[in-house]
Structure 1
Amino acid sequence: MKERLDTWRRGWTHGGEGGHMEERVDTWRRGWTHGGEGGHMKERVDTWRRGWTHGGEGGHMKERVDTWRRGWTHGGEGGHMEERVDTWRRGWTHGGEGGHMEERVDTWRRGWTHGGEGGHMEERVDTWRRGWTHGGEGGHMKERVDTWRRGWTHEGEGGHMEERVDTWRRGWTHGGEGGHMEERVDTWRRGWTHGGEGGHMEERVDT
């Protein structure tokens, strides 16, 4: 018995409550069965999904998700599976009770599984977060936080993890009972963990 089935499916959705959403799914499925339950089966699934959300309660939010998924199964439960997910998420919130806040998150996730539960998984997350608060009860306060986080996991729970957090905090208080007070705190925190709970941690505080 020989059977071949090819399927192409494309769908685009527009509108909704949150701006524009586009999704495309392409599927190629080819199967050949030869006189039993085994034989040869090949399946490929490609998916592109892009979403942009605009509006909301806090200014502007943009999110894009791209997904490529390819799978080939050969005569059993194992075979080869490849999945790639790319995500770009950018959000800017303006207003609120404390001035200006900006946050940007970029994520790249790629995973390949080969014939079992292990395989290779790579994940990278980059985050930039900046916040400035103005006003309040005590003069002027400015705080900025920048974060870069990258993580790679390889075949287990350990792998390599790198996280960097940079913080600049400057505060000036004017008035009150004691004249003028100025305080500046700069913090650099870098941490690298390698394959366990220990690893390397570096922290610097300038006051």
Structure 2
Amino acid sequence: MEFYTFSDDRLLRNSGMIMTSEIQHYFTLFNDDFSYFETELHDWFLNPVVTPKTIRKIRDTYQLTKDVTTYNAVLDRVYKATLDFLTVSFAGRHTGRRFLLALQAEMVGKTPLDYNNQVLFKILHQIDFSISDFVKHFPYARASLVRNQRNFHSEKLSTLPTTFIYFKDDAIKIEQRPQSQIFDYLDQKAVEL
């Protein structure tokens, strides 16, 4: 299987490719925009990972103090939110996506440091997810995150977000592109076919 990569503004053009059946998206919470997220035409698998580089980027994006204490606090909040997302995702990918959209809406005007159990419970209530199911699935979230991290590193990736779009015989790796641009690309590919 060949991998094609683009990480600039060029789009890969290959008229022989067939529309996608699977998309693997590696990202870090608070570092990707899910407002354009739609899953009607494409089958997305969301794989959150936490890396030191993305924690620094998140800290800098939110203009937080550049010290070890703040870095550790951001790491703690991102890690907790990631585990919470993975826990909810055990109920299904669509439920996980609803969690991400609700999280994004809830965190407008806030920083990752504002994420806590109160925010979590508010989101769970909004998406109608029971606390007992959350408690039941939470122990498995760490193993899921470890698997995502292992897969991320086994692909020798270092940039987030990174998306793999799998075609019949080929795949495309897209780095550092928000989901809105990936959807634009997929829409363009659909028109070409």
Please tell me the TM-score bracket, short chain as reference.
under 0.3
Q: Normalised by the size of structure 1, how large is the TM-score?
A: 0.21
Q: Normalised by the size of structure 2, how large is the TM-score?
A: 0.22
- Larger strand fraction of residues: 1
- Larger helix fraction of residues: 2
